[in-house]
């Protein structure tokens, strides 16, 4: 029997306090619900839990433009009227509103993804989980699709300091355009996205013909789907494509974005996946035994999101949990059945077998154009901009302030009455 994976988990119970606005579909409150269910099921006992720190402006600028980061750092709703041109320039408007604590929110979810990558690099974890991350639409100098800072790109850049090749997999209903764009011309990162395409669906990118350019040609893999895809149809295409990608690309690390807006009944999505079907994608990626950073993403029916990511936490822990949701702080949200898993809806699957088979054939053809996994001459690991919490990495002549140490690893008191 194979040993269970070592899992670390980034948890901030205050994340639910950030608020995009009353009518906005993005609700950070869903992350608090996931954390609460994780505690209620007792899964925290099986993994190392860390409280997120705040990423520095210098860290965020490893991908994003410095003027964009500086603008996010200093702008607030109270002074917004003085920055109308910059709000327009950086697209902090409409679907990406300016709200109280925006920069701090970005700092936390980005730091968790960066630090999750660092755990994998240090070998102190096999799997790192940050459900607050996965904001895949943000661009270098622009907010997009509810996303301001692209924590995924920042985490992949961190992983590339140590791992020769990184595979990015995206199962959000929306195309992972920001990540694909960032690595479109490199062969060290392969991006694979399964998403809705057509009918003016946001963001309008991710056709099967979008396959990368220059050194990155064929390293962007897109599987554009139609409305109503079911668990079985998804599995029959996801698994062979990912298996072939693993064979051809031979990644040394994986980043998996688990957007839950691909679930049945999502407010903005149009797929028909159940929590079990969505979780099978996570289980399949995990089966390859490659260091993996697991992130959240979209998901706008918060009860379903909480159910999905709680189930997937159990999958990553190889831990069976009951379908009956235990009592928790958000108990009433899960009425009337209080079950963990959701079922398919009675909607048409517009993805016919012929259509899916043609897509799969084309994707496989593109992958065969890659002759071999790219080799990389690795050099000494560049410095990072934050302290490691692994004692072996620390300078014995430099003592960290105790407050820094305390912020990293959660203490028993954090879990309240869940023990």
β-sheet bridge partners, residue 34: none
First to last CA, the chain: 29
What strand order describes the sheet that includes 220-225?
48-50, 7-10, 127-130, 292-295, 253-257, 166-170, 189-196, 220-225
What's the CA gap between 255 and 285, in Å, rounded? 10
Residue tagged 């009337």 (tokens): 336
- The upper half-sphere exposure of residue 22, i.e. CA atoms within 13 Å in the direction of its Cβ, equals 0
Phi, psi (rounded to 5 degrees) for 104:
-65, -40
- β-bridge partners, 225: 196
| Cα atoms found within 13 Å of the Cα of residue 33, Cβ hemisphere only | 22
Count of beta carbons in the 10 Å neighbourhood of residue 299: 31
Is residue 137 part of the annotated active site? The answer reads yes
240 alpha carbon, distance to own chain's centre:
22
Strands 253-257 and 166-170, sheet pairing: parallel
Distance CA 414, CA 52 (A): 13
Instruction: Say how many C-beta atoms besides its own lie within 10 A of residue 170's C-beta.
Output: 30
Which stretches of 113-260 are assigned E, i.e. beta strand? Answer: 127-130, 166-170, 189-196, 220-225, 253-257
Report the DSSP pairing between strands 7-10 and 189-196: unpaired
DSSP string, 231-265: HHHHHHHHHHHHHHHHHHH--SEEEEE--GGGBTT
Report whether 129 contacts 35 (CB < 8 A).
no
Half-sphere CA count of 164, side-chain side, radius 13 A: 10
> Which one of 35, 136, 137, 195 is the catalytic residue?
137
Q: Distance between CA 13 and CA 143 in Å, rounded?
A: 25
Task: Provide the sign of the torsion angle of the four alpha carbons 186, 190, 193, 194, taken in this order.
Answer: positive
Residue 339, strand partner residues: 324
Q: Which residues are catalytic?
A: 137
């Amino acid at each position: 029997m194979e040993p269970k994976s070592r899992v670390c988990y980034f948890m901030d119970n205050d994340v639910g306090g950030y608020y995009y606005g009353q009518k906005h579909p993005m609700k950070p409150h869903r992350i608090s619900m996931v954390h609460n269910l994780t505690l209620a099921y007792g899964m925290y006992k099986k993994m190392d839990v860390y409280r997120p720190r705040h990423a520095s402006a210098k860290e965020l600028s490893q991908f994003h433009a410095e003027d964009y980061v500086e603008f996010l750092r200093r702008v607030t709703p109270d002074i917004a009227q003085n920055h109308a041109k910059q709000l327009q320039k950086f697209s902090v408007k409409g679907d990406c509103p300016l709200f109280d604590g925006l920069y701090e929110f970005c700092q936390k979810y980005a730091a968790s993804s960066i630090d999750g990558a660092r755990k994998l690099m240090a070998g102190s974890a096999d799997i790192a989980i940050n459900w607050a991350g996965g904001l895949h639409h943000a661009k270098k100098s622009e907010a997009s699709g509810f996303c301001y800072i692209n924590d995924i790109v920042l985490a992949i850049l961190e992983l590339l300091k140590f791992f020769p090749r990184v595979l990015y997999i995206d199962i959000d209903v929306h195309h992972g355009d920001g990540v694909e764009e960032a690595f479109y011309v490199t062969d060290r990162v392969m991006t694979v996205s399964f998403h809705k395409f057509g009918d003016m669906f946001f963001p309008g990118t991710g056709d099967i013909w979008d396959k990368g350019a220059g050194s990155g040609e064929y390293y962007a893999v897109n599987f554009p789907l139609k409305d109503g895809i079911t668990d079985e149809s998804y599995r029959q295409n996801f698994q062979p494509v990912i298996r072939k990608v693993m064979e051809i690309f031979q990644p040394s690390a994986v980043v998996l974005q688990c957007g839950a807006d691909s679930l049945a009944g999502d407010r903005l999505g149009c797929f028909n996946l159940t929590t079990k079907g969505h979780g099978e994608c996570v289980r399949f990626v995990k089966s390859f035994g490659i260091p993996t950073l697991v992130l959240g993403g979209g998901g706008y029916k918060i009860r379903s999101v909480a159910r999905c990511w709680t189930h997937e936490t159990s999958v990553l822990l190889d831990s069976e949990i009951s379908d009956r949701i235990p009592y928790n702080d958000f108990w009433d949200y899960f009425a009337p059945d209080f079950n963990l898993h959701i079922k398919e809806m009675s909607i048409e699957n517009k993805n016919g077998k012929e259509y899916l088979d043609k897509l799969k054939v084309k994707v496989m053809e593109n992958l065969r154009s890659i002759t071999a996994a790219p080799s990389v001459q690795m050099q000494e690991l560049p410095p990072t901009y934050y302290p490691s919490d692994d004692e072996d990495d620390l300078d014995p002549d430099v003592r960290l302030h105790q407050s820094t140490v305390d912020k990293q690893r959660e203490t028993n008191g954090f879990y309240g009455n869940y023990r």
